[in-house]
């Protein structure tokens, strides 16, 4: 199980690295970027509502939803003061001015701090989802797969942000990719922090930690998804069908992993009588 988690963490590191190469390898038009962001945001919304929030409530109590609100606000204020989540830095968006105005005030040093915290939290999200699965049954289930897929799909967006900001600031490509690599390592670091905290708290505390960490992460997922979706909604009207289909595709993907989980849970219930603790 530990090795599986190591594998999931490594996969995210690799995808982050590829995400950093993306702006150099392809012409990332505004529309392509927005279609991708809509798809990624749909999976994050779906992961939050289909997996993380229900599992956090099931493991803890409805009170954990307050922790979700704290997670949402944490990411909101992080973005307000560190501006780490602007995926478009102005250059590739010819038909408008608001991104450019923001782009000029973006500073990759400040963005780096915000992005480091954001990436660390996505590691905690993955580890808490795995821990929630293991609290309910013998194997990792759709909750972990859902959070993993949402994180995997979202990571190139973060890599894109930091790499384009640094390249624009005149930093050399090797240093840029090294920094991007260092960022991706924050995912395994976040996972490790969760496991250490969980062992330190012991059996009873660890379930409560899992419930709250999962709810907090769900709140951060909601904030990230909406901050990727709302600027496009507010400022543009192009490709509305294409973007809506991408958003729904991500959301439905998560819904179907949840449906698959329901059947596998029913199956577990038949063979075990009750979920393993
Ligand atoms: Zn992000
Ligand atoms: Zn647009």
pLDDT at residue 176, as a whole number: 86
Please determine, for residue 84, whether its predicted confidence score (pLDDT) is greater than 60.
yes
pLDDT (mean) for 7-36: 80
The region of weakest confidence among 48-52, 199-203, 268-272 is: 268-272
Closest CA to 54 of 150, 151, 143: 143
pLDDT band at 24 (very low <50, low <70, confident <90, very high): low
pLDDT band at 272 (very low <50, low <70, confident <90, very high): very low
Closest CA to 6 of 183, 195, 181: 195
pLDDT band at 273 (very low <50, low <70, confident <90, very high): very low
* CA 100 to centroid of ligand 2, rounded, Å: 13
* CA 96 to centroid of ligand 2, rounded, Å: 9
pLDDT band at 264 (very low <50, low <70, confident <90, very high): low
pLDDT at residue 115, as a whole number: 87
* CA 139 to centroid of ligand 1, rounded, Å: 28
143 phi and psi, to 5 degrees?
-60, -50
Instruction: List, in order, residues 6 or more apart from 153 with CB less than 8 Å away.
Output: 39, 40, 43, 250
All structural domains of the chain with their residue ranges: 23-264
The region of weakest confidence among 134-143, 193-202, 231-240 is: 134-143
**Residue 185 to residue 9: CA distance in whole angstroms:** 9
Q: Please tell me the number of the ligand nearest to residue 157's CA.
A: 1
pLDDT at residue 13, as a whole number: 84
Average pLDDT over the chain, rounded to an integer: 83
Please determine, for residue 67, whether its predicted confidence score (pLDDT) is greater than 90.
yes
Instruction: List, in order, residues 6 or more apart from 75 with CB less than 8 Å away.
Output: 118, 121, 219, 220, 223, 224, 227
Predicted TM-score of the model (pTM): 0.85
* CA 211 to centroid of ligand 2, rounded, Å: 37
pLDDT (mean) for 170-177: 87
pLDDT at residue 183, as a whole number: 85
pLDDT at residue 211, as a whole number: 93
Q: Please tell me the number of the ligand nearest to residue 234's CA.
A: 2
* CA 158 to centroid of ligand 1, rounded, Å: 5
Q: Please tell me the number of the ligand nearest to residue 240's CA.
A: 2
pLDDT band at 1 (very low <50, low <70, confident <90, very high): low
pLDDT band at 37 (very low <50, low <70, confident <90, very high): very high
For 137-239, where are the alpha helices, taking DSSP H only?
142-168, 173-184, 186-235
* CA 200 to centroid of ligand 1, rounded, Å: 29
**Residue 224 to residue 228: CA distance in whole angstroms:** 6
């Amino acid at each position: 199980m530990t090795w599986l988690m190591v594998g999931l963490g490594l996969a995210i590191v690799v995808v982050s690295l590829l995400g950093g190469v993306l702006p150099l390898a392809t012409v990332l038009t505004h529309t392509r970027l927005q279609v991708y962001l809509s798809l990624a945001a749909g999976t994050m919304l779906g992961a939050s509502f289909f997996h993380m929030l229900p599992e956090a409530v099931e493991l803890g109590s409805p009170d954990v939803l307050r922790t979700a609100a704290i997670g949402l606000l944490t990411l909101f204020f992080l973005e307000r003061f560190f501006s780490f989540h602007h995926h478009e830095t102005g250059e590739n968006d010819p038909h408008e001015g608001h991104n450019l105005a923001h782009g000029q005030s973006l500073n990759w040093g400040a963005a780096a701090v915000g992005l480091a915290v954001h990436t660390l939290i996505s590691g905690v999200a993955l580890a808490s989802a795995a821990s929630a699965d293991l609290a309910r049954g013998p194997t990792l289930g759709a909750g972990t797969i859902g959070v993993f897929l949402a994180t995997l799909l979202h990571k190139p967006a973060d890599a894109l942000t930091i790499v384009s900001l640094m390249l624009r600031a005149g930093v050399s490509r090797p240093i840029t990719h090294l920094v991007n690599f260092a960022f991706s390592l924050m995912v395994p670091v976040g996972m490790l922090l969760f496991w250490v905290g969980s062992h330190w708290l012991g059996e009873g505390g660890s379930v409560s930690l899992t419930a709250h960490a999962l709810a907090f992460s769900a709140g951060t997922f909601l904030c990230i998804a909406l901050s990727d979706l709302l600027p496009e909604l507010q400022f543009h009207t192009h490709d509305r069908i294409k973007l809506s289909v991408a958003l729904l595709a991500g959301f439905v993907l998560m819904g179907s992993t949840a449906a698959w989980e329901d059947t596998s849970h029913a199956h577990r219930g038949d063979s075990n009588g009750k979920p393993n603790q």
